Amino acid sequence: MSPKNPRDPGPGGSRPRSQVPRQHLSPEQQAKVQARRDVIRRQNRHSQAGQPRSSASSIERLLRIERRKSRSHAIFISSLVLAVMVIMTFMIMVVMQKTKPRPQFLFIQTGTLTHTVKSQVLIMRDDVVFKAPTDGLVKPIAPEGTRVASGQQVALIIPAGLEAQLDELSKCEQDIVDLQNELMNQGKGAGARAIFNESAAALSSIVNLIRSDMVAGSLGNAPTYTSSMSLIMEQRTGKLTTIDFHDARLDQLIAERSNLEQVLGLASGRLVSERPGVVSFHLDGLEAELGASAIETLSIDQYRDALKVSQNQSTVAMTTKAQQPVLRITSGLKHYLALYLEGVQEGALDTTRSYTLSVPADGIDMVGCKIIRSVADNKGSLVIFSADRKIEWFSDRRTFEAELAVSSTTGMKIPRVALIDFDPQLRTASILMVNGGYTREVPVQIVDYDREYVIIDVAEADEAESTAEALKPTVSTVIVVNPESIAAGEFIGE
């Protein structure tokens, strides 16, 4: 009798259910089950007749174990992903809270808003021009921009043929400066250090101007700076002659310089001031045209033409011809300043008050300027001021850039960035005002404004809103400077 095939159905006529539908298993699980079945088949194939094989319950138990592992793995992965998402959401919220701008507050204060206009100033003044009596080299004696008295010697014209003596004089002066520096470093010559520091400060300002021109890519004023530095050095040398260093070598050099100057002076043409005034060695050929009498006839076109000519202003002449202008002396107590104000019509400026001209390049203000005359065209006005300040300061110039305050408004002044929905045409806007710990959006009227600040006033209340209940900004009211950082109606605290 042949052994019973384990694959045959049992007495009940049905086969034991030892398999699980594969569609419920993952590919890895199906591969493991198939491998175990192959092992069982091989064992059954090589086993002896009647030997029992592995039961179906063992396979089912293994499958259940695999399913539990798979579920546990899926639950772990899902929990991990959920935890990462929660952490990332929390971190994003924290970062957004950190980067969100915080509201900034300020008190409304009373201030003044000033409107200025930039313009190129043309200087008109009474100048007396001195011409060279002979050909030769120009040697200034009076420093640039200083006041000289009547009869004071201001320059020498050294004839040709004395170049060797002039070079010898220059070498002697340099030897004196070097020896003075050496003695000063040894502690000799009381007061010499102060003179050197004064000249160093003056030279430093010129060096700063040179740097500014180099940054702007303009070197047109380089010769002017060179002559100014030379005059500062000569002025320092003159002041140091009054200092006694108690040194025989220095005394000998000073005596030698005096002899050389006497030889050059006796054989040279002397230029002596005929009247008191401010001396300058910078000429532009406009001295006769732009005197004080020109303020009554100067037109806008003449003003613009003079600005173009003044750009070719000459510097201190090193050599000259006979009867060639070499210096000028400003004898008047006033100078007149003409400037074209674009966008300012005639009559816009009050002629009864004084104005202040600011010169940003020099860091100075010219106060007390009074209007003498004004001429208007369709784009602006030519205004001529008279001034008695800074005559020496601008003695070496014909033009400079200045700013004029043409109007001003006083009131409640706040930054322009604090406005909400600003309409320049209607001059309306809103601000966030703090009231009772809450932010309230309040309409305001714009009285005046510029690029940075505005002058505000109380806006007219709506008909539906009573004046008593309306919020009105006043001086010392707290407002939000950056209204984009907070919404109206939010609580900020008491």
In this structure, are residues 338 and 417 in contact, taking their beta carbons and an 8 Å threshold?
no
373 occurs within a structural domain: no
> For the segment 170-214, what is each residue's pLDDT rounded down to a tens digit?
888 888 888 888 888 888 877 888 888 888 888 888 888 888 878
- If you average pLDDT over residues 116-129, what whole number do you get? 93
> For the segment 227-272, what is each residue's pLDDT rounded down to a tens digit?
677 767 777 777 777 788 888 888 898 889 888 878 777 677 888 8
Residue 185 C-beta-side C-alpha neighbours within 13 Å: 6
Q: How far apart are the first and last CA of the chain?
A: 104
| Cα 203 to chain centroid, rounded | 25
pLDDT tier for residue 49 given thresholds of 50, 70 and 90: very low
Cα–Cα distance, 87 to 98 (Å, whole number) = 17
What the block records as the tokens of 47 is: 């086993």
293 occurs within a structural domain: no
* Residue with the larger pLDDT of the pair 58 and 77: 77
What local confidence, expressed as pLDDT, does residue 10 receive? 46
What local confidence, expressed as pLDDT, does residue 18 receive? 44
Radius of gyration of the chain (CA): 47
Indicate if the pLDDT at residue 466 is higher than 70.
no
- Mean residue pLDDT across the chain: 82
What local confidence, expressed as pLDDT, does residue 328 receive? 92
- Name the burial class of residue 195, with classes exposed (0-12), middle (13-18) and buried (19+) by CB atoms within 10 angstroms of its CB: buried
Position 48: which residue type? Q
- If you average pLDDT over residues 414-423, what whole number do you get? 93
- If you average pLDDT over residues 404-420, what whole number do you get? 92
pLDDT tier for residue 141 given thresholds of 50, 70 and 90: confident
Cα–Cα distance, 138 to 154 (Å, whole number) = 11
435 occurs within a structural domain: yes
Indicate if the pLDDT at residue 446 is higher than 90.
yes
DSSP 115-138: EEEEEEEEEE--EEEEE-SSSEEE
Indicate if the pLDDT at residue 4 is higher than 70.
no
419 occurs within a structural domain: yes
Indicate if the pLDDT at residue 464 is higher than 60.
no
Which DSSP letter does residue 462 get? Answer: P
What local confidence, expressed as pLDDT, does residue 54 receive? 52
In this structure, are residues 398 and 313 in contact, taking their beta carbons and an 8 Å threshold?
yes
What local confidence, expressed as pLDDT, does residue 136 receive? 86
74 occurs within a structural domain: yes
What local confidence, expressed as pLDDT, does residue 338 receive? 96
DSSP 281-304: ----S-TTTTSGGGGGT--HHHHH
In this structure, are residues 341 and 119 in contact, taking their beta carbons and an 8 Å threshold?
yes
Domain extent at residue 62: 25-85
Q: For the chain, what percent of residues have pLDDT higher than 70?
A: 85
Most confident of 103-117, 163-177, 205-219: 103-117
Indicate if the pLDDT at residue 45 is higher than 90.
no
What local confidence, expressed as pLDDT, does residue 196 receive? 83
CATH of the domain at 453: 2.40.420
What local confidence, expressed as pLDDT, does residue 357 receive? 93
pLDDT tier for residue 467 given thresholds of 50, 70 and 90: very low
Indicate if the pLDDT at residue 454 is higher than 90.
yes
321 occurs within a structural domain: no
Indicate if the pLDDT at residue 53 is higher than 60.
no
Indicate if the pLDDT at residue 480 is higher than 70.
yes
> For the segment 334-387, what is each residue's pLDDT rounded down to a tens digit?
999 999 999 888 788 888 889 999 998 888 899 999 999 999 998 999 999 999
Position 89: which residue type? T
2 occurs within a structural domain: no
- If you average pLDDT over residues 468-477, what whole number do you get? 78
What's the domain count of the chain?
2
pLDDT tier for residue 48 given thresholds of 50, 70 and 90: very low
Virtual torsion, Cα 154, 389, 382, 218, nearest 10 deg: 60
What local confidence, expressed as pLDDT, does residue 491 receive? 85
176 occurs within a structural domain: no
Most confident of 16-25, 84-93, 234-243: 84-93
